[in-house]
């Protein structure tokens, strides 16, 4: 169902890899709601994914960019404004990667150059994206920037490893940059703290299946899907949320405020 919420709005969507990714689903929803955008991902991710199919489906152009590289980002922002015919109204940062997780290093045994790489890709890249847009004055007033995060920034999930630290840093950047973007440009910056979601990245976390089932049993409304997250992101890109900024918004079926659920109690009852 379309409400034309993003009619005439322009933006950039980072991180669509395949049809399981939240960025992919968001691109489809933004397109349905009348928004136009440029798709971008790291050159290596583009070789692995199916972003061409998404571009075709949504009449979008693709600009490869390494989100940790300022030259790439400057080029991306300038070219996007040329292609789209004006300043931006929305940006989705859907980027995360941990080399330590990928290579099976425990949290207590990190290889620190890998830690630095993951931190740059997962968190500092968000500052770089915001700073590039800020300096180029590339956002329209009342524009909206959203990054995706996870509750491991607040609570410990053993196998989430150094990604938890990256997400905490990412959320802090959203608050700090949100202040300056709000004051000077009337642009809002928020993070969505999403349920565990079976994306290509999500499934890379050890013990993911058990974990997603636990979250499903703990959440009164059940886990939020990638599709649900796309809908929520569209609402944050729209004019209906103009005064929402510097927030970390839990989109998790109620998981974050549930102490214990009946299902979990029953699972551990002696009788």
Q: Which residues of the chain have pLDDT under 70?
A: none
- What pLDDT digit, counting tens, does each position of 122-153 carry? 999 999 999 999 999 999 999 999 999 999 99
Identify the burial level of 71 via C-beta atoms within 10 angstroms of its C-beta, where 0-12 means exposed, 13-18 middle and 19 or more buried: exposed
Q: What is the 3-state secondary structure (H, E, C) of the chain?
A: CCCCCCCCCEEEEECCCCCCCHHHHHHHHHHHCCCEEEEECCHHHHHHCCHHHHHHHCCCEECCCCCCCHHHHHHHHHHHHHHHCCCEEEEEECCCCCHHHHCCCCHHHCCHHHHHHHHHHHHHHHHHHHHHHHHHCCEEEEEEEEEEECHHHCCCCHHHCCHHHHHHHHHHHHHHHHHHHHHHHCCEEEEEEECCCCCCCHHHCCCHHHHHHHHHHHCCCCCCCHHHHHHHHHHHHCHHHCCCCCCEEEECCCHHHCCCCHHHHHHHCCC
Q: What's the pLDDT score for residue 87?
A: 98
Alpha-carbon gap, residue 254 to 41, rounded angstroms? 31
Q: What's the pLDDT score for residue 40?
A: 98
Alpha-carbon gap, residue 43 to 63, rounded angstroms? 9
Q: What is the 3-state secondary structure (H, E, C) of 221-233?
A: CCCCCHHHHHHHH
The per-residue b/e assignment along 210-231, b for 16 or more CB within 10 angstroms, e otherwise, is ebbebbbbbbeebbbbbebbbb
Domains and CATH numbers, the chain: 10-268 (3.40.50.720)
- CA distances for 76 relative to 5, 38, 63, 164, 167, angstroms: 25, 9, 6, 28, 24
Answer whether 0.75 is exceeded by the pTM.
yes
Q: What's the pLDDT score for residue 8?
A: 98
Alpha-carbon gap, residue 257 to 77, rounded angstroms? 38
Q: What's the pLDDT score for residue 172?
A: 99
Find the Cα–Cα–Cα–Cα dihedral 43, 161, 131, 11, rounded to 10°.
60
Q: What's the pLDDT score for residue 59?
A: 98
Residue that is written with structure tokens 């649900």 in the block: 228
Alpha-carbon gap, residue 103 to 115, rounded angstroms? 12
Q: What's the pLDDT score for residue 271?
A: 73
Q: What's the pLDDT score for residue 44?
A: 87
Neighbouring C-beta atoms of residue 38, cutoff 10 Å: 24
Q: What's the pLDDT score for residue 46?
A: 83
């Amino acid at each position: 169902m379309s409400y034309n919420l993003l009619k005439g709005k322009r933006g950039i969507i980072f991180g669509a890899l395949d049809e399981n990714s939240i960025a992919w689903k968001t691109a489809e929803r933004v397109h349905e709601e009348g928004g136009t955008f440029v798709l971008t991902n790291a050159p290596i991710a583009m070789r692995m994914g199916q972003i061409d199919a998404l571009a075709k489906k949504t009449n979008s152009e693709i600009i490869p960019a390494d989100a940790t590289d300022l030259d790439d980002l400057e080029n991306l922002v300038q070219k996007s404004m040329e292609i789209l015919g004006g300043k931006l109204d929305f940006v989705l940062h859907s980027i995360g990667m941990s080399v330590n997780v990928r290579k099976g290093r425990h949290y207590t045994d990190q290889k620190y150059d890998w830690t630095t790489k993951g931190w740059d890709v997962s968190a500092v890249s968000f500052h770089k994206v915001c700073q590039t847009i800020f300096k180029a004055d590339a956002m329209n007033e009342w524009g909206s920037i959203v990054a995706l995060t996870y509750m491991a920034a607040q609570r410990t999930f053993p196998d989430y490893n150094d990604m938890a630290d990256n997400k905490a840093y990412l959320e802090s950047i959203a608050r700090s940059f949100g202040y300056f973007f709000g004051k000077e440009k009337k642009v809002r910056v928020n993070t969505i703290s999403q349920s565990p979601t079976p994306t290509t990245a999500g499934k890379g976390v050890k013990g993911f299946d058990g974990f997603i089932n636990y979250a499903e049993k703990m959440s009164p409304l059940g886990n939020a899907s990638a599709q649900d997250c796309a809908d929520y992101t569209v609402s944050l890109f729209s004019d209906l949320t103009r005064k929402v900024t510097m927030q970390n918004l839990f989109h998790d079926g109620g998981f974050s405020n549930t102490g214990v659920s009946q299902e979990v109690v029953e699972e551990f009852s002696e009788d």
